[in-house]
A and B are shown apart, each in its own frame.
Chain A
Amino acid sequence: DTEVTQTPKHLVMGMTNKKSLKCEQHMGHRAMYWYKQKAKKPPELMFVYSYEKLSINESVPSRFSPECPNSSLLNLHLHALQPEDSALYLCASSPSGASGGGGYNEQFFGPGTRLTVL
């Protein structure tokens, strides 16, 4: 298995809903990432998990809550989102954690979840 999978592909939610995005990889990668991508913009880093521990949090609002249950799974829990949070949410993984690989860490992306907040 050489890919990153994300579910669901599309999600529509109201501002009072609670939902979760899921990401999975079975490549034995030790780092996983969440990015947010608005239309016609580059991906923006949100969170990095290295060896199942949160290593980078880019000052993301608390309405986004990441979770890494094990080395293959990454979740993003969503609560009380705003319409401006509508975007493509991308998950990625890389072989090494922050201290491994000499810092050279190819990141492989999933197809994303298209989120619309009404």
Chain B
Amino acid sequence: GENVEQHPSTLSVQEGDSAVIKCTYSDSASNYFPWYKQELGKGPQLIIDIRSNVGEKKDQRIAVTLNKTAKHFSLHITETQPEDSAVYFCAASINNDMRFGAGTRLTVKP
């Protein structure tokens, strides 16, 4: 089955700096790659996603890149703010079967 690895497990940045989180996946059949933000006591919130026929996608301060050949995808957050502090999960999906990475705890220091 699909195996998703996510790095780093923790990331601390200064407000205004950029943050990058990287994931790899094992199953070349995976075709959908969402990113979720989870705050304490809440369910995961979809923040951006990318499909296998696209290499890059941007939404304001958030961007995601996908390298299908290398089976890598990454989340980039620019101009970080304290409210970006949360746990971020990457995931890889085939049809409705979605597998998550282990998560990255991002802390943005004011």
Binds A, one of B13-21, B67-75, B100-108: B100-108
A103-B32 CB under 8 A given contacts A41-B102, A42-B100, A109-B44: yes
Please give the distance in Å from A45's CB to the nearest CB on chain B: 7
Binds A, one of B55-63, B78-86, B89-97: B89-97
Q: Which residues of A contact B96 (CB under 8 A)?
A: 31, 33, 48, 50, 55-56, 94, 97-98, 105
Residue of A nearest to B32 (CB): A104
Residue of A nearest to B29 (CB): A103
Contact A103 B46 (CB under 8 A): no
Please give the distance in Å from A21's CB to the nearest CB on chain B: 13
- What's the count of A-B pairs with C-beta under 8 Å? 63
**Bound CA–CA A49/B31 (angstroms):** 20
A90-B95 CB under 8 A given contacts A42-B100, A104-B32: no
Q: How many residues of A contact B (CB 8 A)?
A: 29
Q: Which residues of A contact B46 (CB under 8 A)?
A: 106-109
**Bound CA–CA A112/B93 (angstroms):** 21
Determine if B45 is an interface residue (Cβ-Cβ < 8 Å): yes
How many B residues are at the interface, by size bracket? Answer: 20 to 34
Contact A42 B93 (CB under 8 A): no
Please give the distance in Å from B4's CB to the nearest CB on chain A: 9
Contact A103 B44 (CB under 8 A): no
Contact of A109 among B31, B32, B45, B51 (CB under 8 A): B45
Q: Which residues of A contact B32 (CB under 8 A)?
A: 103-105
Contact A109 B94 (CB under 8 A): no
**Bound CA–CA A112/B49 (angstroms):** 22
A103-B94 CB under 8 A given contacts A43-B100, A109-B44: yes
Contact B44 A43 (CB under 8 A): yes
Inter-chain pairs besides A48-B97, A108-B46, 20 sampled, C-beta below 8 Å? A40-B103, A41-B103, A42-B89, A42-B103, A43-B89, A45-B98, A45-B99, A48-B96, A56-B96, A56-B97, A102-B31, A103-B31, A103-B94, A104-B49, A106-B46, A106-B49, A107-B46, A109-B36, A109-B44, A111-B41
